[in-house]
Structure 1
């Protein structure tokens, strides 16, 4: 019988920090991806127009567009 008995041991519990909850993952939807793609295209066009007009900053570009 002694041969069949296995050594018993306890598995320590994982440490849980009480101050910070676990990091949650954001679910990315098809709409999120489409919005991000559209923003990327618009941003590229913004930069091209800014450079074409010889403007130095995004704020000067915004003022240029508002004045038009």
Structure 2
């Protein structure tokens, strides 16, 4: 079981680094649900409408960085 986990974690960490440009800290801080959602979206399997520029602008106004 531990060998299976280690192999799967290594494969997923590699995919996250390559596809998402995540460093190891980002990978290990993400929950399995977060990683799955991001990988589904990156693969175009989300099924929901993409975020529009208007959506992004509204989020930036609601949650400013500074």
> TM-score with structure 1 length normalisation?
0.38
- Richer in helix (by share): 2
Q: Which has the higher contact order (CA 8 A, sep 6+)?
A: 2
Higher Cα Rg, which structure = 1
Q: Normalization by structure 2: what TM-score?
A: 0.39
